[in-house]
Amino acid sequence: MPSRPLPRQITVFALVGVVNTATYYGLYLLFLTRLPYLAAHTLAFALSMTGSFFLNARFTYRTRPTWRKFLLFPLTNATNFVITTAGVYVIADVLRAGHRFAPLLASAAAIPVTFVVSRRVMLPATRPAVTGDPGGTRDTADATDAA
């Protein structure tokens, strides 16, 4: 399956993010009926992140999911957390722009960086040509890293 052009990847990445957020929130509310809020949050987060991994593999990057990619994928969430946390602090405390919309603004600012990290995890750099791949475009990590 051929890779999507970069602008299309960014658009699909953002759409997967919307689906991921809705999934997280729906699961959180569902689990909250039976679990303490922290357990509901943790379980909803883990399940939505897993779903996000598979959606991004299939629709954003058109790549085969592997264990290596799956285990590295949480780096995208860690990146997002660091950037949004710093952004909320800067917007709310340094710029004194208020707390209400700070997370939304910080999240929007985090999208490009999170996309770059996600793309790096999901599409490792290509290596020199492999036998049967005269263009040198096949990713040998995908060829050898079975899911």
Compute mean pLDDT per 10 residues along the chain, 147 residues long, and list them: 82 93 92 92 93 96 94 92 90 86 84 92 68 46 44
What pLDDT does 127 receive? 52
What pLDDT does 90 receive? 92
Q: Is the pTM here over 0.85, yes or no?
A: no
What pLDDT does 102 receive? 83
Rounded Cα distance between 15 and 125, Å, is 24
Report the candidate in 130, 147, 143 with the shortest Cα–Cα distance to residue 65: 147
